[in-house]
Amino acid sequence: MTSVVQLSEEEKELFRDSLKKFLEKEVEPYYDDWEKAEIWPKSVWQQLGENGFLCVDVPDQYGGYDASFELSSVIVEEISRAGYGALASGVSVHSDIVAPYILHLGNEEQKQRWLPKMVSGEFVGAIGMTEPGAGSDLQGMKTSAIKDGDDYVINGQKTFITNGQHADVIVLATKTDPKQGARGMTLFTVDCHLPGFEKGRNLEKMGLHSGDTSELFFQDVRVSAADILGGEGQGFANLMNELPRERLILAVGCVGAAVGMLETTLDYVMERQAFGAPIAKFQNTRFVLADIKTEIELNKALTEKYITRYVNGELTAGEASMAKLAASEMQGRVADQCVQLFGGYGYMREYKISRFYLDARIQRIYGGTSEIMKELISRDLVGR
């Protein structure tokens, strides 16, 4: 494996500018229609791949740029900033969760089979953890993978699965030995075209409307031992090791979205007239904007610090939890304050701020709720 390619600040800005132009041309004209349809076309994945915006820190031997995680964070930040929350969520699951699981835990055959086509966008990745009766409590999952000769037979159900409708490969959490609790959990890479696998309905959500979020069903799905990801019985430990990146990239998206909301609101309050003057001239407006800007900068500083720690292999689970907790709670406050500054127009769907507001609510829930984040942070302070 070659060393990670470090880009200069100028190169990062050129990449950021290229992404902005792509979003303006290939996403902005169509996004409202995708939101109404509650799914974007699968061809968008290949457009993202062809333009180099998927799995950028995958090594070049598997088709990636071998770039730093910093470049991947730029992608999620800018998509979130532009107000495409569902797209940011789907891309981050694909590039910052599924691909790293396969890269870090997979055998060579798994890497060669899945990663190049994930980089190109030909294959879409999803991760199957949450079940109807097991959300944050991963040890309560019921989906089983029972050994049968040299194979494993999977039965069970997953829900709230981002990219579920488009998925070609799923990193699936199962119980291979239910009696062993956490030590009986195993991850598999599951081909979504196998017999017995079925995609359920595309779930209707409060926000992130164009992002496909699905139920998944497994009925006697047969996989081989070669599909085990990271070792039998090692699933829970592997999940815990990979979750910090997931929570960090969520924090990056939260900050990006908050910046986008502030920019959108600044444009509005400079133009909107009340009592013969732009509402930006009122002290209340100015003080709210000052508070928002300060909160964004504080969270941006924290996420940038933790991005550096992640790149250096130093980020802890507690730190990632702090970033996710702080940034997601901040995003919710900013969304509420910005809608308030828009007044009645902020409640209208034709104004992008209303979409920002709806998309923000899930950030305090998925990837670990704020309550779970607080529990994990507290364990670093006072133990279990």
Q: Which tokens go with 23?
A: 């979003």
Query: For residue 293, what is the enclosing H or E element?
Result: helix 283-311
Parallel, antiparallel or unpaired: strands 125-128 and 169-175 = parallel
Which class is 236-382 in CATH? Answer: mainly alpha
- What is the reported pLDDT for 1? 40
- Taking the domain 127-233, which CATH number applies? 2.40.110.10
For the chain, give every domain's residue range. Answer: 9-124, 127-233, 236-382
- Averaged pLDDT, 68-77: 95
pLDDT for residue 253 is more than 70: yes
Is 3.40.1190.20 the CATH classification of the domain at 9-124?
A: no
Residue carrying structure tokens 């006697």: 220
- pLDDT for residue 182 is more than 80: no
The pLDDT of residue 303: 97
213 with 205: CB under 8 angstroms? yes
pLDDT at 42 over 50: yes
Q: What is the pLDDT of residues 80-97, one digit of tens each?
A: 999 999 999 999 999 999
Average pLDDT on 285-314 reads: 97
Catalytic (active site) residue 246: yes
The yes-or-no verdict on residue 2 having pLDDT over 50 is no
Chain-centre distance of CA 151, in angstroms? Answer: 31
Interval 130-178: pLDDT, tens: 998 776 667 778 999 999 998 999 999 999 999 999 999 999 999 998 8
Name which of 129-138, 162-171, 246-255, 316-325 the model is least confident about: 129-138
How far apart, in whole angstroms, are the C-alpha atoms of residue 312 and residue 205?
37
Say whether 127-233 and 9-124 share the same fold: no
- Asked if 203 and 215 count as a contact pair (C-beta separation under 8 A), the reply is yes
The model's pLDDT over 191-245, given as tens digits with 9 standing for 90+, comes to 999 999 999 999 999 999 999 999 999 999 999 999 999 999 999 899 888 989 9
Q: Express the helix, strand and coil content of the chain in percent, nearest 5 each.
A: 60, 15, 25
Which residue among the candidates 35, 131, 215, 246 is catalytic per the annotation?
Answer: 246
Averaged pLDDT for residues 44-68 = 95
Mind listing the pLDDT tens digit for each residue in 277-297? 999 999 999 999 999 999 999
Helix (H, G, I), strand (E, B) or coil at 295: helix
| Residue 267 pLDDT greater than 60, yes or no | yes
pTM of the model: 0.93
Mean pLDDT of 376-383: 92
When pLDDT is cut at 50, 70 and 90, the band that residue 3 belongs to is low
CA atoms within 13 A on the CB side of 239: 26
- Which letter does DSSP use for residue 7 in this model? P
- Residue 313: what are its φ and ψ, rounded to 5°? 75, 25
pLDDT of residue 5: 64
pLDDT band at residue 73 under the 50/70/90 scheme: very high
Mean pLDDT of the chain: 94
**The tokens of 320 are what?**
């990632």
